[in-house]
A and B are shown apart, each in its own frame.
Chain A
Amino acid sequence: MNTALKHNIVISESGKITRKEKGFKRILWIVALSIIVLFLVFFLTLVLSSLPSLKAFGFSFLYEKTWNPVAGEFGVFPFLVGTLLTSFLALIIAVPFSLAVALFLGEYYRKGIVSGLFKNIIDLLAAIPSVVYGFWGLFVLVPIIRKLEMLLNVSPYGVGIFSASVILSIMIMPYAISLTRQVLQMVPSDLKEAAYAMGATRFDVIRKIVIPHILSGLFAGILLALGRALGETMAVTMLIGNTNALPTSLFSPSNTMASAIANEFTEATGQIYTSSLIEMALVLFLVVTIINVIGRKLINHFAWDE
């Protein structure tokens, strides 16, 4: 009798549970779908609002070098070059540092006061607003780079591609470090222990076991960092010199797409000017998407090799 009663309860409850279960699943579906809808709406808005400029300039928008709001001639090429150049340069500077710090925290000092302090400080670095990075760059970094430029005998602007890349590399490092550290934790310890048992040194283990194992994760980290660098606005606009021309050297002033949009959008008048700025946003959106797709392909590629 007692057991039968219990049984009954279980059955009725499980009926409720399935209903709840279904409802919950439906909610999850709706929320998940809304992300895709959001993405599509975003993309469509950009395309629709940039139609006037798409019609007026066509593909020449991508390779034209003039950006002249007065004459109404718009080409995004110098900004595209500036964006890609600063972001990739920032990556080149940031990746070795991030990998080194991640190895330091993930392999050498996993626990303890030292690593705790380091981790907290890295998280803090990620939380600093970009305008603060910009100010710091303007008042500390720019005078240093100006001195460097005088030594190298190039025009000592202090601002330009190089300054922007350095500040960007500092900004993206915390992201790259956290992600790399996470993937370091995923390296199977039996593999490492086996290597140690064979008499491998720590350096050998890092070089032959750890790094090959984390390659795909490392790429993911770099990719996330690159996404941030491509879209960074405030710090870049303060340090890049805002010159709408093709850069001629590493130190020459330039401009990026995000920075130009932020600078010019508020006071842009006239349909073609506004829609050209929106088309610039569309190009930025596509660049980020393309780089993401390529990155995912590369991650899969490395993951396969393991």
Chain B
Amino acid sequence: MKKVNLILLAILSSALTLVSCGNNSKKNPDTQKTTASANTLIGAGATFPYPLYSKMFHVYHQKKGIKVNYQSVGSGAGIQQIQNKVVDFGASDAPMSDEELKESPGYLVHIPTCLGAVVITYNLPEDPSLKFTPDVLADIFLGKITKWNDPRIAKVNPNVKLPSLPISVLHRSDGSGTTYIFSDYMSKISSDWKNKVGKGKSLQWPTGLGAKGNEGVSGFVKQTKGSIGYVELAYAYQNKMSKATLQNKSGNFITPTLSSISAAADIDHMPKDLRVSITNTSASKGYPISAFTYILVYEEQGYDNRKEKKAKATVDLIDWMITDGQQFTKALQYGKLPEKVVEKATKRLKTVTYNGQSLLK
């Protein structure tokens, strides 16, 4: 009887695995099929803007009758899928690297859709609000400052009674855009960090524990007195977590808010291809760990027997997202694109063509 049960269990589980594999392998032809139908667009990529995108796409469907199917599979997979041309647009938190662009079969245009930020969160007795300067922050995450009552932390926070607790650092264990933005910032403010750790979605961490996802990091921070970690801004607000105030490049101490991350994007030297890192921003009121999230489309849309109607629909959708669609950013705790950036992004979108003809008039 027992044996029968075990065997049944084995058969069931193997059947389940087979079924789930089957689903996976089916996915590609499916997406291709739907790409062919006229009123449906397919996108895939970053998980970070997913709540905003699904709101935008829902409203867009009601208004224009175009259905958008967005799969939040992660930035890496999103880039891969647009490179394989199985989706109409890809989405990525970090802009593609020069090598990645070179590997792509066509030139990919980057259009920023909204802003996100990484918040430093911590757990101390009596929940004081803390300030950090770049060098103190870097040395905490490098494991050089190990106690909360270190004179360097005390110097920046003269009115806070700091306990003599050891600092336990928490970081993401899974590869993530949040880690990328955080390490991009750290590499800019600390040469030590740049040489020893560098920037990436997964890192070789000099100190601390890893936890999976924003929820993993925040769970540990909430449980452990004396801990410090980093999470995405929207997540920190939704869960009412402590948020450190950081000193930006201009020397101002900035609290992470929706307006301070939008301010971070208000820079003058925006490059033409819009691939830019705005961490450690030069904007005087900008929060220093902010970043754009992007949509990726081919500059020349006339590929693989693509219909002009479809190409036009893709460009129209993106145009709507960076203009009318921006109204949904605030409620969902994403940073709104500043006017200047919308202007530049629209200009960039006009360079997207179908057989050489601009799609956006």
Q: Interface on A for B, CB 8 Å cutoff? A: 66-71, 123, 138, 142-143, 155, 157-159, 178, 181-182, 237-238, 241-244, 253, 255, 259, 262-269
From known contacts A264-B175, A267-B175, A269-B79, infer whether A253 and B202 are also in contact, taking CB-CB under 8 Å.
no
For residue B198, CB closer than 8 A to chain A, the reply is yes
Evaluate contact between B202 and A267: CB separation under 8 angstroms: yes
Evaluate contact between B2 and A242: CB separation under 8 angstroms: no
Evaluate contact between B209 and A69: CB separation under 8 angstroms: no
**What are 14 A-B contacts with C-beta separation under 8 Å?**
A69-B201, A69-B203, A70-B203, A157-B168, A178-B2, A182-B3, A242-B212, A244-B205, A255-B173, A263-B173, A264-B174, A264-B175, A264-B202, A267-B177
Q: Which residues of A contact B19 (CB under 8 A)?
A: none
For residue B338, CB closer than 8 A to chain A, the reply is no
Cβ-defined partner of A243 (8 Å) among B5, B100, B166, B209: B209
Evaluate contact between B76 and A268: CB separation under 8 angstroms: yes
Cβ-defined partner of B210 (8 Å) among A69, A142, A241, A265: A241
Cα separation A264 to B212 with both chains bound (whole Å): 10
Among B59-67, B148-156, B216-224, B256-264, the stretch that binds chain A is B216-224
Q: Interface on B for A, CB 8 Å cutoff? A: 2-3, 5-6, 73-77, 79, 100, 166, 168, 173-177, 197-205, 208-212, 216, 219-220, 223-224
- Give the shortest distance, in Å, between B99 (CB) and chain A (any CB): 8
Q: Which residues of B contact A138 (CB under 8 A)?
A: 219
Add 14 more A-B contacts to A181-B2, A255-B173 (CB < 8 A): A68-B203, A70-B200, A70-B203, A155-B168, A238-B211, A238-B212, A244-B205, A253-B210, A263-B175, A266-B76, A267-B177, A268-B76, A268-B202, A269-B201
- Give the shortest distance, in Å, between B96 (CB) and chain A (any CB): 10
- Give the shortest distance, in Å, between A257 (CB) and chain B (any CB): 14
- Give the shortest distance, in Å, between A140 (CB) and chain B (any CB): 12
Evaluate contact between B76 and A267: CB separation under 8 angstroms: yes
Give the nearest-CB partner of A160 in chain B: B209
Q: Which residues of A contact B223 (CB under 8 A)?
A: 142-143, 158
Q: Which residues of A contact B100 (CB under 8 A)?
A: 269
- Give the shortest distance, in Å, between B339 (CB) and chain A (any CB): 33
From known contacts A157-B168, A182-B2, infer whether A267 and B201 are also in contact, taking CB-CB under 8 Å.
yes
Give the nearest-CB partner of B224 in chain A: A158
Cα separation A182 to B177 with both chains bound (whole Å): 50
Give the nearest-CB partner of B94 in chain A: A269
Cα separation A242 to B216 with both chains bound (whole Å): 11
The 4 closest A-B pairs by CB, nearest first: A242-B210, A267-B175, A242-B173, A70-B198
From known contacts A242-B211, A243-B210, infer whether A69 and B2 are also in contact, taking CB-CB under 8 Å.
no
Interface-centre pick from B166, B201, B210, B211 (highest chain A CB count, 10 A): B210
From known contacts A67-B204, A244-B205, A264-B202, infer whether A123 and B174 are also in contact, taking CB-CB under 8 Å.
no
From known contacts A242-B209, A266-B74, A266-B76, infer whether A69 and B200 are also in contact, taking CB-CB under 8 Å.
yes
Q: Which residues of B contact A67 (CB under 8 A)?
A: 204
Q: Which residues of A contact B201 (CB under 8 A)?
A: 69, 267-269
Cα separation A238 to B73 with both chains bound (whole Å): 21
Evaluate contact between A238 and B6: CB separation under 8 angstroms: no
Q: Which residues of B contact A123 (CB under 8 A)?
A: 5
Q: Which residues of A contact B204 (CB under 8 A)?
A: 66-71, 244
Give the nearest-CB partner of B216 in chain A: A238
Cα separation A255 to B204 with both chains bound (whole Å): 13
Q: Which residues of B contact A182 (CB under 8 A)?
A: 2-3
Evaluate contact between B205 and A266: CB separation under 8 angstroms: no
From known contacts A263-B174, A266-B74, infer whether A237 and B212 are also in contact, taking CB-CB under 8 Å.
yes
